Amino acid sequence: MTEHRSTPDIDGPGDPLVSSAYRESAAERAPDALNRSVMQQAREQVRTRFFRPVAWLRPMAWAATIGLSLAIVIELSTVPQTAFDVPVIEIPADLEVKPFGPRARKIIADDGRVTLQDAGSLHKAETAVPATSSVILMPCAGDIRNLPESWLECIKRLESDGLVDLADSEREQLQQAFPDFELP
């Protein structure tokens, strides 16, 4: 330890002889154990203070996480449900649904719209409906349904065009209309 013992200010009734005698008499120094204890306390106090922001940050992070989660949930719950609904196209009752010819084919546009085009008659039946549409089409309608063979041929064309759901629907209707007909 550095000895620091400044000379008293001689502006009072001091006595150099008394001061000198006192200084010879009083030479104690603070014990090392005390010094260590105080310095340890000083370090801990600083550590405590500088860790305080970290301790404060943790609940803040939790609060921010919870708040953000709530905001997302509320945002999702307030979005209009119709945005996710598939638009349903109502087909007028008097609309004549023309069957597709043997060369009808499916055209998938860049925007996902499906177009069924009959190349022979240049009849273009644009559904303007997403591929997931629930619109019921009757591609095998009219005289095709009179005979199970022609109906089945129409179904096969649908399958080859990739319209599997329509083909399955037609297959079920064919089975109901001609229960004795043996489907392949």
Partner 1 sequence: MIDAIGLNPDDLSLSHAQAVAYAPAMDPHPEDSALMLRYKDGDVDAFETLYRRHNDALYRYLLRLCRHRDNAEDIFQEVWGKIIKARGRYQATAKFTTFLYRVAHNCFIDHIRRNQRHQNTADIEPDSQASPTDAPEVETERSLARRRLDAALQDLPEEQRDVFLLHEESGLNLDDIALVTGANRETTKSRLRYAVKKLRAAIDEPNRPEEEAS
Q: Which helix (H) or strand (E) holds 38?
A: helix 32-78
3-class state of residue 125 by DSSP: strand
By CB under 8 A, the residues from 45 to 64 that bind partner 1 are: 45-46, 49-50
Of 13 and 59, nearer to partner 1 (C-beta) is 13
Please tell me whether residue 84 binds partner 1 under the rule CB under 8 A. no
By CB under 8 A, the residues from 94 to 133 that bind partner 1 are: none
Please tell me whether residue 17 binds partner 1 under the rule CB under 8 A. yes
Q: How many other C-beta atoms are found inside a 10 Å radius of the C-beta of residue 113?
A: 15
Give every CB contact of residue 116 below 8 A, 6+ residues apart in sequence. Answer: 100, 104, 105, 106, 107, 125, 127, 137, 139
Distance CA 80, CA 183 (A): 45
Nearest-approach distance from CB 23 to partner 1, in angstroms: 7
The region of 39-47, 57-65, 142-150, 160-168 touching partner 1 under the rule CB under 8 A is 39-47
Site residues, partner 1 (CB under 8 A): 1-9, 11-15, 17-19, 21-31, 34-35, 37-39, 41-43, 45-46, 49-50
